[in-house]
Structure 1
Amino acid sequence: MMGELNFFLGLQIKQCQKGIYISQSNYTKELLKKFRIEEGKTVTTPMVTNIKLDKDEKCKSVDGSKYRGMIGSLLYLTTSRPDILHVVCLCARFQSNPKESHMSAVKRIFQYLKDTIFTKRI
């Protein structure tokens, strides 16, 4: 009755003959602005391959509420971005006491999103 579904709960939806495509590019752009990551470099992978995240007692602590906000936003984004699901879940384990190393890993995910915001994924 209302026509073709185009936008629902932050998801952009495109219906074609081949199937239904879901995207969150507008939400991703808003996240980059919100966390002030729209400027700067981009990366081609969401995480460095030889890094091992742990409690990292030696590093300084960071603002836990900002870290949890970033993780929560990324978790919502995984509905249309399964390519970041594993890395986001790794970072989510350290929400109770985030350190600078954890924040660096989360910022790298945002840099990756910036690089792949309009890339078609299958």
Structure 2
Amino acid sequence: MEDAKPMKTLMHSSTTLGLDEESPDDDSMMYQGMVGSLLYLTASRPDIMFNVYVCARFQVTPKEVHLQAVKGILRYLKGTANLGINFYRSHNFSLLGYCKADYAGDKWERKSTSKGCHFLGRCLVSWTSKRQSTIALSTCEVEYVATRQCLTQLLWIKHQLEDYDIYESSILVLCDNTAAINISKKTCLAL
């Protein structure tokens, strides 16, 4: 891969990897080693996390198309070696969360994926991309579950900060689904 052409973008989010029965089998040991190395790298490169976890689903019986996807991630890393996470010194401890979900993005089980990132001041401190455990019946339900997961993580961070005598009274969660926002408001008022 040293001579591979670098890429500036990862695979598109609409690209789906499947169990492609017609594609030839690939060496599972090599594939598992490549995916394992990429999993380790997600700690400092959250931008590749979703794609790596999609590729990790096929470690038992990888096909040629899966290997091509992993090679695409490696080409992307080669082309974006200057990217990383920056941490800034600050006394601003406001909590902020962004959440997003796709509706039935998993083509095999029809489950949705929740995604989110959590900031403490200007610093990214946590991120997630996780397949939801239930099958949702609407986009509103999917976004509400993602919002709930994001808020759960932010509340955990808030309680950790209280151990250091840092008290944050408000937590801002940003979601792009109006129906999920309205349900969240009603749920919070009921508490």
Q: TM-score range by the shorter chain?
A: 0.5 to 0.7
Task: Pick the structure with more strand per residue.
Answer: 2
Cα distance in 2 for residues equivalent to 1:118 and 1:98: 30
Q: CA deviation at 1:46?
A: 1.8
Q: CA deviation at 1:121?
A: 4.7
What is residue 58 of structure 1 aligned with on the other side?
Answer: 22
Higher relative contact order (CA closer than 8 Å, sequence separation 6+): 1
TM-score (normalizing by structure 1):
0.66
Return the index of the structure with the highest Cα Rg.
Answer: 2
| In the alignment, structure 1 residue 105 sits paired with structure 2 residue 64 | no
TM-score (normalizing by structure 2):
0.43
- 2:32 is paired with a residue whose SS is helix
Please, what is the CA RMSD of the aligned residues? 1.3
Cα distance in 2 for residues equivalent to 1:120 and 1:43: 16
| Structure 1 unmatched ranges of 5 or more | 1-36
Q: CA deviation at 1:40?
A: 2.1
Cα distance in 2 for residues equivalent to 1:121 and 1:43: 20
Q: CA deviation at 1:58?
A: 0.6
| In the alignment, structure 1 residue 41 sits paired with structure 2 residue 5 | yes
Q: Would you identify which runs of 4 or more consecutive aligned residues in structure 1 move more than 6 Å?
A: none
Q: CA deviation at 1:119?
A: 2.8
| In the alignment, structure 1 residue 115 sits paired with structure 2 residue 79 | yes
Letter in 1 for 2:65: S
Identity of aligned residues (%): 48
| Structure 2 unmatched ranges of 5 or more | 87-191
| In the alignment, structure 1 residue 67 sits paired with structure 2 residue 31 | yes
> Over residues 70-109 of structure 1, what are the superposed CA-to-partner deviations in whole Å (9 max), with x where a residue is unaligned?
0000000000000000000000000000000000000000
Cα distance in 1 for residues equivalent to 2:9 and 2:67: 16
